[in-house]
Structure 1
Amino acid sequence: MAAARGLGEAALPGLEPAGSKKKEPDHARHRERLRARFDRAGATALADYELLELVLFRAIPRRDVKPLAKRLLAEFGDFNHAISAPPARLTKVEGLGEAAARELKIVEAAAHRLAQARVIGREALSSWSALMTYCKTVMAYRETEEFRILFLDRKNALLADEAQAKGTVDHVPVYPREVAKRALELNASAMIMVHNHPSGDPTPSPADIEMTQRIEAALEAVGVTLHDHVVIGKETDASFRALGLL
């Protein structure tokens, strides 16, 4: 018969005394508090790193993610830049794997879809503020230049929004004939061109101006109107028409 265990002896591995309760990890209680604060007061009550934590909870269920959220901000600057960063750069951040990077990109995609829903099918020129909000959401935080075209019908309603080309940090190749060809394929009557400047300064460059003039000439030849070319910066945008360049 086994001897009775003394008071000072440790319990057998894996066994807990009757009536005992395993202590909840500190980070689990932190998650509950953070979720409750979001439910009660919304996103405006949270700092950027806390909003990142909420996103990371789904991909990393059993680890304190606050240090990781703060590393993301140290690397990318703010919430917007973090979710807009390419997956290859995200996964270089210590502790962030493919699953967590995917969660961040899902949030970015949802933001783009929501902003797009507010402009598709609407008269573009009378919905200019919503249109620019959409363009900034999609393009302002990209690390390389992207050229997009907003194709419009005869009533200036948005038919399609397409990324035509992607480039480097300061250049994106665009071919006037291809732009005109795509407008004809969509039966578009007009268009608005948009591209971003990753530097943050939306001032049109000489190359931007020359390229716009070439595209405008190609569109005129097929009866399509170029309403504007907008350059998106980090905080502001520049309209060719407002600047007298169209």
Structure 2
Amino acid sequence: MEMTTFRIAVTGGLMALAVLLAWWWAHGPMSRARLAGFSRQHGLPITTGNGDRVIAYLAITRRWRCAGAATGAVTSAALRLFTGEPGIDVISVFAGWFAGALVAELLLAPTPTGVRRSASLAVRRAGDYVHPVVWALPLVAAAGWAVATAWTLFAGRPSAWALAALAVLVPVLLVRHRVLLRPQPAGPADVTDAETAIRSRSLRVLCSAGFALASYCALVALPTDDSVAVTVAALLVLVVARFAGAVVPSRYRIRPA
């Protein structure tokens, strides 16, 4: 009884800590360093004309990603309570963070209704916003999922992780298509440049994070008992995703709307 009470107390404390940290980070003021980092990464001068738009974008994405991460942490802690192992699963936190990122992009890219769409008539290509390697990452993960699924079925050991990988890939492909085709409003050069940088940032996050999460699920689904190999492969996937999402420069070209 005492051990059960202790586990419940530890789990409750972890849940409360996760929620408080997420709330503090999500609703804190936007730092100059974060804004300067966005400007430097995309080569975008922050002006009085585009500053509010960039700040709003960073605030919305941060808020929803934090909410998703907190949800993942709380869910993980609650599930672990039933296994007798208090704690928080990192993958659950990352999955929640990614779900929050998807929600944020959907809110930022509403389907226009009843408005003039002349600005959206320009043909938009992925290469205008992200490196081809980054854009191809979800397709690489999809190929890995297909191999993992075929392997599990052939071995007679179907895994729910394969379905989890598919549940990641489908939203990634749909949402990134919506982000790519999102109308870019006409306006001064600094405003359109900011919209282009925002689109580039969103696509990079979706492609790299989606690749990492889907690939991890596909690797875990493999019918093998070699946990070391799976762990090493998963770490390599995370390194590639991190490099592609943060180190590979955005090679977008500002195209007139």
Query: Quick check: TM above 0.5?
Result: no
TM-score after normalising by structure 1: 0.30
Q: Of Structure 1 and Structure 2, which has the larger fraction of its residues in helix?
A: 2
Structure whose CA Rg is larger: 1
Identify the structure with bigger relative contact order (alpha carbons < 8 Å, sequence gap 6+): 2
TM-score after normalising by structure 2: 0.29
